[in-house]
Structure 1
């Protein structure tokens, strides 16, 4: 067959799609909507790497941790302090700035720095502060808004950020929070390290699992209206076309719908891109301009979708005989064969088998084998489901009228019912496997913080010189705080800190009750001093904590400079035994009650307050952060947790959640279009049943059962395949086999919930179709 003949037949089908009257236009429109939704998500996926790269570049461009060596004040220096905070779980990026000359570097997104007492904010933060929900945050940021940060200075459209003007920041310069800089940006990038094979596997699986349902839905969309199309094509046999030519014409019709779908998909993507600028998912937001698909990947989508439409149509018509007098489809179809359907998942397992034991010390995973194996397993779901639906409904007979109507319809067209559920089954199978893998390797990327959350739930670190005892009293009086334990600390050395000491010992100051949280004391009253042992540094403690020994207080804060402040160890040190504190650390050294501390050392201590919160107060953490901002604008308030995850692992899981939201939205929209298309196909049948007196309730229940039966079977099959794939993946990474049942049930429940919502949304059109007027014809 020549390419010219192929082109002529495809072109003829293309014209038929647009010249077939209302019926042809309706089919093209439904196909275009279904394909367009899939194309929009594919374009979104191709744009994600660009959006992430833009976020990374903008974050690098505004980086102000270019501390380096200590710089003198000049006309090109800027003193900047990190005052980040958290509000209702959302991060707020905050900076206090004090330009020291006309040539001070300007932060990206700003034209000038605000005056002391003023601030410039991101559009999202300005919106939040102006709303009723931002009342508590306004109390924390007592600055006047004088401008907004430009897009170049933000990593996302919904990012909360501000720059506030300040004065006299130079005395606060240290090695970790406040610095004098001359430029923005990251001058030194850390050298590339070997990527973790397990994390690479997770990223690869996330993309495969999220994109596979999209491909299934596109393949389903190009088959909309297949029964009516085939009956129309029978007329072509009367004018002399052979069966092959007829199939190529049908492929041309599908090609027309897919091309219109590309246009729709581009429109949906552009609309979705604008909408993406106003939403935030799992603390991630992007600017619409950042969602720019890669030209090569966009071209691949533009070529792959029409080609897939042609191939799927030709494949679907392989078992349909289109004759001049009708379509031999209504006869009893041959039973579907099982053997070749089992070859797909078995082939997938065969490809994944050599990867068992790989990763980490075993070497990298072969990405082609992994991708091919996972794809075959997921495609196996779409191949097994039609056979399973046919085998089940063939054995269903007795029941109510609605049940019998639904079962009879499924017996006549089990393939259509299976196609409608295929996308959900694939999504659930992949999600179950991924959830098992995430749960299995989570322990490798989760660390115990060591913090005792039963003794304290928050910690506030104060800047040097802030009276920690006064701060503790203010925190204790804060709403939602049950108890506040305040401590002051410093590091003492045997030499001047400008030259670097050889041996150091810690100094801790607090009330007797506070000191007992870190050491077992024999007896205590204000004015006592102790030396605590029982740690790995006992030798240094014993050597330096001798009465009369002159020690040097660390005033340099890592900057290499600072006044040489000396202090002599007092007499009468009582022995104490160090215990594990609420923060999980066991620190010995010299312990002083407040009265035993010389006044000249008060301003040299780093203060910390450990807080026990009342869980019955919903915004207790926000009240604490507000108090911290008033006590010390440089205070760092941290919420404790018993465990913490690796950032890369957490970001991959965040990407899975974001992608899952998009895929579920696509599943719901595409399933609704599929449901409406099937109802349109059965319009005359529904009208005939209504004309013969069938109740609306009966027909509604029959439509529900037509959806519920294949969905239940699809979810069961998807769970089985997902558990199998998850088990293989766990063996690949060397993790013990285990089923995360809550995740399995949540994913199957999410799939079932989508179906229920779609069924509910299809009821109004169903009621309109159940009218005797639907029997009218031209």
Structure 2
């Protein structure tokens, strides 16, 4: 058969779809909507790489962290930047104080002028929050006058909370800890990190698991109206077309729906692209300009969807004998074969098997084997489900009338029922595998911080010693604070320059020092020594009364002139550190304030540790307000027993966002499919009602027709999902464990989507169950 004949037959099918009257248009519109939903999600997915790139570029362009690089000298092109990040409930607020030092000072991205002291420019989302009643406590913390908004180039998301405030008298420190001096914004020396093989493998699995259900839905959508179309094609056999020509004409009709679906999907994508800028999912927001699909990937979608429509239709028509006198579909068909369906998951396991035990220590995973293996296992669910539905419903027997109606319908068209839930089954199988994978490797990306949240809830790091007295006074009186202690830390060396021996020195009142060590007695002026747990004798040797030293001794490449001479006073006592001390590795000298010379506080780091009363609403916000009042550059850190890798957390968040999109697609596509099935059976339903069948019975029959294949699909999905998850865990060299509660929750989520769709389809079902539905033209 030449290409010309193919083109002519496909073109004839397209014309039949377009000129087929009301029925033809309804069928094509339903197909277009189903395909369009899938195409829209595929286009959104092709834009994901550009979204990640754009957010990374925005973040790099505004970078102002120098990571302890050497401080540049003050000049006409320098600016002082004070770090003033904070949090509002569960959202980060990025804050910076700006103090220009010359006429050629660089501006941060998104800002057209420097705010004066007492002024600030804010992101649109922060402006909305600060001007609302909800943001009252945050407004107390950010009391400067709002004079403008940060432009899009200075933000990574439409809902990001950020501000730049004007400042004066900022003081830069040698370590660039709270205030930095910059000659330009942006990361000028990006350091490439070695990619984590396990994270890369997990990313590939996430994309495959999220996109495979979309492809399955598109394949099902192009077959909407299949039964009516096949009966209509019998007329073509009467006028002389052969079987092959009839199949190509049917493929042409599917092609018309797919092409219209591409257009509808593009419209859906553009609507979704614009709406994406106004929503925030799991703390992630973007700008519409980020959602620009890669040209190559967009072209691939535009070519693959129509080609898939033709291929799926030709494949489906194999089992349909379109004869001049009708369609031989309702006769007893040959049972579906199992052997080739089992080959798909087995081939997937064969592709993944060579990578078992690889982990992150044996090089990268082969991305083609990972994609191919996961894809074959998930597609295997789609291939096995029609066989499973056919095998089970053939053995179902007597029951109520609604049950018998449902069973007979399933026995006549088990393939149609399986197609409806294929996407759900594939999505649930992928979700179970991903849940097992993420839960299994979570421990590899979680580390203990050494912090005890029962000992302290928050740690406040002050930017200078002048704020320490106010902090020690204000925090214990803050609403929601049970207790608070202030501690300073520094070092003392045996020489002014380049000391040979350096010992840590910790300063606090007696209550604060008792949070670090077990003290026999204490009063202001006392000095204690805690031996180094690593058995280094420097601490005890340096703690001899009368020993001379220099606080904040300098080094050859450091700043001179800050060294403060100090003599160890008499009466130094040796004590032991508490096992639950507020600070890790407590050792060296513990000193009460009056035992130090004046000026020593300016050389040290200062922290306040507070324990909160969690029963007080907004206790955390009251603490942050106090911190901003005593030191506007103070940073507040919540204590947690563990912390997770940022990349792992980002990937998990991306998975959740993608899962939400796929669930929305599943629900919408299922609803369209359900409506299409009801439309095809409208006359049958009307006939049953006309003969006296109760509407309740018909409604229950529709519910049974959905419940049986969904139950089988979820059972199959759970089996394949657990198998795939186990293999993936073995690949990461992680012990296999199955949390059955999570497996059941994933299956329950899939069943919940189907239940919602079924309930939404009841009103159209009731409208169709009327005798008037028997009318025809």
Could you say which TM-score interval applies, normalised by the shorter chain?
Answer: over 0.9
1:553 aligns with 2:554: no
Q: How many Å separate the matches in 2 of 1:71 and 1:197? A: 38
Question: Is the alpha carbon distance of 1:556 and 1:93 closer, same or farther for their aligned partners in structure 2, counting shifts above 3 Å?
Answer: farther
Q: Which moved more, 1:124-133 or 1:181-190?
A: 124-133
Q: What corresponds to 2:654 in structure 1?
A: 655
Q: What corresponds to 1:747 in structure 2?
A: 746
Shift of 1:286: 1.2
Q: What corresponds to 1:283 in structure 2?
A: 283
CA contact (8 A) 1:71 1:180 kept: yes
Residues 226-277 of structure 1 deviation map (CA, whole Å, 9 limit, x = unaligned) = 0011111111111111111000000000000000000011111111011111
CA contact (8 A) 2:71 2:176 kept: no
Q: How many Å separate the matches in 2 of 1:733 and 1:230? A: 49
| Unaligned ranges ≥5, structure 1 | none
TM-score, normalised via structure 2 length:
0.97
Q: How many Å separate the matches in 2 of 1:471 and 1:424? A: 57
Shift of 1:556: 7.5
Q: How many Å separate the matches in 1 of 2:370 and 2:75? A: 57
Question: Is the alpha carbon distance of 1:561 and 1:138 closer, same or farther for their aligned partners in structure 2, counting shifts above 3 Å?
Answer: farther
Q: What corresponds to 1:591 in structure 2?
A: 590
Q: Give the 3-state SS of the residue equivalent to 2:190 in structure 1.
A: coil
Question: Is the alpha carbon distance of 1:355 and 1:72 closer, same or farther for their aligned partners in structure 2, counting shifts above 3 Å?
Answer: closer
CA contact (8 A) 1:452 1:582 kept: no
Question: Is the alpha carbon distance of 1:367 and 1:167 closer, same or farther for their aligned partners in structure 2, counting shifts above 3 Å?
Answer: same
CA contact (8 A) 2:532 2:539 kept: no
Task: Give the one of 502, 508, 511 matched to 1:510.
Answer: 508
Alignment of 1:610-649 (within 5 A): 610-649=609-648
Q: Which moved more, 1:22-31 or 1:682-691?
A: 682-691
Q: What corresponds to 1:535 in structure 2?
A: 533
Q: Give the 3-state SS of the residue equivalent to 2:237 in structure 1.
A: helix
CA contact (8 A) 1:85 1:94 kept: yes
Alignment of 1:216-235 (within 5 A): 216-235=216-235
Q: What corresponds to 1:566 in structure 2?
A: 565
Alignment of 1:684-699 (within 5 A): 684-699=683-698
Residues 35-60 of structure 1 deviation map (CA, whole Å, 9 limit, x = unaligned) = 11111111111101011111111111
Alignment of 1:483-498 (within 5 A): 483-496=483-496
Q: What corresponds to 1:54 in structure 2?
A: 54
Q: What corresponds to 1:390 in structure 2?
A: 390
Q: What corresponds to 1:30 in structure 2?
A: 30
Q: What corresponds to 1:425 in structure 2?
A: 425
Q: What corresponds to 1:200 in structure 2?
A: 200
CA contact (8 A) 1:467 1:607 kept: no
Q: What corresponds to 2:447 in structure 1?
A: 447
Q: What corresponds to 2:599 in structure 1?
A: 600
Q: How many Å separate the matches in 2 of 1:742 and 1:582? A: 38
Q: What corresponds to 1:164 in structure 2?
A: 165
| Unaligned ranges ≥5, structure 2 | none
Question: Is the alpha carbon distance of 1:584 and 1:471 closer, same or farther for their aligned partners in structure 2, counting shifts above 3 Å?
Answer: closer
Q: What corresponds to 1:410 in structure 2?
A: 410
Q: Which moved more, 1:484-493 or 1:243-252?
A: 484-493
Q: What corresponds to 1:340 in structure 2?
A: 340
Q: How many Å separate the matches in 2 of 1:721 and 1:134? A: 48
Q: Which moved more, 1:201-210 or 1:333-342?
A: 333-342
Q: How many Å separate the matches in 1 of 2:52 and 2:200? A: 17
Q: Give the 3-state SS of the residue equivalent to 1:207 in structure 2.
A: helix
Residues 192-251 of structure 1 deviation map (CA, whole Å, 9 limit, x = unaligned) = 343222111101111111110010000000000000111111111111111110000000
Q: What corresponds to 2:214 in structure 1?
A: 214
CA contact (8 A) 2:495 2:553 kept: no
Q: What corresponds to 2:136 in structure 1?
A: 135
Q: Give the 3-state SS of the residue equivalent to 2:301 in structure 1.
A: helix
Q: How many Å separate the matches in 2 of 1:193 and 1:61? A: 18
Q: How many Å separate the matches in 2 of 1:189 and 1:469? A: 40
CA contact (8 A) 2:351 2:369 kept: yes
1:187 aligns with 2:188: yes
Count of residues paired in the alignment: 775
Question: Is the alpha carbon distance of 1:400 and 1:580 closer, same or farther for their aligned partners in structure 2, counting shifts above 3 Å?
Answer: same
Shift of 1:647: 1.6
Alignment of 1:44-193 (within 5 A): 44-66=44-66, 68-170=69-171, 174-190=175-191, 192-193=192-193
Alignment of 1:9-20 (within 5 A): 9-20=9-20
Question: Is the alpha carbon distance of 1:543 and 1:64 closer, same or farther for their aligned partners in structure 2, counting shifts above 3 Å?
Answer: same
CA contact (8 A) 1:440 1:736 kept: yes
Residues 703-729 of structure 1 deviation map (CA, whole Å, 9 limit, x = unaligned) = 122111111111111010000111111
Question: Is the alpha carbon distance of 1:111 and 1:251 closer, same or farther for their aligned partners in structure 2, counting shifts above 3 Å?
Answer: same
Q: Give the 3-state SS of the residue equivalent to 1:194 in structure 2.
A: coil
CA contact (8 A) 2:71 2:174 kept: no
Q: Give the 3-state SS of the residue equivalent to 1:486 in structure 2.
A: strand
TM-score, normalised via structure 1 length:
0.97
Q: How many Å separate the matches in 2 of 1:773 and 1:80? A: 75
Shift of 1:151: 0.9
Q: What corresponds to 2:42 in structure 1?
A: 42
Q: How many Å separate the matches in 1 of 2:15 and 2:111? A: 56
Shift of 1:618: 3.6
Shift of 1:110: 1.0
Q: Which moved more, 1:255-264 or 1:152-161?
A: 152-161
Q: What corresponds to 2:681 in structure 1?
A: 682
Q: Give the 3-state SS of the residue equivalent to 2:361 in structure 1.
A: helix
Shift of 1:602: 3.6
Q: How many Å separate the matches in 2 of 1:127 and 1:389? A: 54
Residues 351-399 of structure 1 deviation map (CA, whole Å, 9 limit, x = unaligned) = 1111112232223222222211111111110111111111222222232
Q: Which moved more, 1:500-509 or 1:276-285?
A: 500-509
Q: How many Å separate the matches in 2 of 1:559 and 1:460? A: 27
CA contact (8 A) 1:174 1:559 kept: no
Q: How many Å separate the matches in 1 of 2:581 and 2:258? A: 62
Question: Is the alpha carbon distance of 1:132 and 1:62 closer, same or farther for their aligned partners in structure 2, counting shifts above 3 Å?
Answer: same
CA contact (8 A) 1:251 1:313 kept: yes
Q: How many Å separate the matches in 2 of 1:628 and 1:547? A: 38
Q: How many Å separate the matches in 2 of 1:612 and 1:198? A: 38
